[in-house]
Structure 1
Amino acid sequence: MKKIAVIGEILVEIMADQTGEGFREPLALTGPFPSGAPAIFIDQVAKLGQPCGIVSSVGRDDFGRINLDRLRTDGVDISAVAIDPTRPTGSAFVRYHDSGARDFIFNIEHAACGQIAMTAEADQLFQSADHLHIMGSSLSSERFIEINLKAAEAIKTKGGTVSFDPNLRKEMLNRPGMREAMQRIVSQTDLFLPSGEELTLLTNADNDRDALTELFGMGISAVVHKQGAQGATYHNAARSVTATAFTVDEVDPTGAGDCFGGAFTTHWLRGTDPEIALRLATAAGALAVGKRGPMEGTSDAATIEAFIKHQEEAA
Structure 2
Amino acid sequence: MRKVYCIGETLIDFISLDKNKTLKSSGAFSKAAGGAPMNAAIAVAKYGGHSVMLTKVANDSFGEFLLHVMSSNGVDISHIVRTDEGETGLAFVSLGEDGERTFSFYRKNAADLLLSPEEVGDIRFQEGDFLHFCSVDLVESPLKQTHIELINKVRSAGGVVCFDVNVRTALWPDETMCRNTILQFITKADIIKVSSEELEFVSGITNEEDAIHSLLNGHVKAVVYRKGNEGAAIYIKDERVYEHPGFRVTPVDTTGAGDAFIGSFLRELAMLNTTPSNLTKLLHTHHNRLLIFANASGALAATVKGAIDSAPGRAGVMEFIKTMHEQSPNYKSW
TM-score range, shorter chain: 0.7 to 0.9
- Does the Cα contact within 8 Å between 1:232 and 1:243 map onto a contact in 2? yes
Q: Which residue of 2 aligns with 1:303?
A: 316
Secondary structure at 2:194 match in 1: coil
CA distance in 1, matches of 2:269, 2:200: 23
Please give the residue correspondences for 1:148-297 in structure 2 after superposition, counting only pairs within 5 Å. 148-168=147-167, 178-196=178-196, 198-199=198-199, 201-203=201-203, 207-236=207-236, 237=238, 239-271=240-272, 273-297=286-310
Q: 1:97 to 1:186 in 2, by over 3 A?
A: closer
Q: Gaps spanning 5+ residues in structure 2: where? A: 273-281, 329-334
**Deviations 1:275-315, CA, capped at 9 Å, x for gaps:** 11100000000110111111334432211101111112233
CA distance in 2, matches of 1:10, 1:197: 23
TM norm structure 2:
0.83
Q: Gaps spanning 5+ residues in structure 1: where? A: none
Q: 1:231 to 1:16 in 2, by over 3 A?
A: same
Q: Which residue of 2 aligns with 1:14?
A: 14
Q: 1:294 to 1:169 in 2, by over 3 A?
A: closer
TM norm structure 1:
0.87
Report the residue type matching 1:123 in the other structure.
G
Q: 1:108 to 1:128 in 2, by over 3 A?
A: farther
Aligned residues: 312
CA distance in 2, matches of 1:292, 1:175: 30
Q: 1:118 to 1:128 in 2, by over 3 A?
A: farther
Secondary structure at 1:54 match in 2: strand
Secondary structure at 1:70 match in 2: helix
CA distance in 1, matches of 2:320, 2:326: 10
- Does the Cα contact within 8 Å between 2:252 and 2:305 map onto a contact in 1? yes
- Does the Cα contact within 8 Å between 2:114 and 2:142 map onto a contact in 1? no
> 1:208: Cα distance to partner?
3.7
- Identity among equivalent pairs (%): 28
Secondary structure at 1:234 match in 2: strand
Larger mean CA deviation between 169-178 and 195-204 belongs to: 169-178
Q: 1:168 to 1:87 in 2, by over 3 A?
A: closer
CA distance in 2, matches of 1:92, 1:183: 25
Q: Which residue of 1 aligns with 2:276?
A: none
- Does the Cα contact within 8 Å between 1:173 and 1:179 map onto a contact in 2? no
Secondary structure at 1:6 match in 2: strand
Q: Which residue of 2 aligns with 1:105?
A: 104
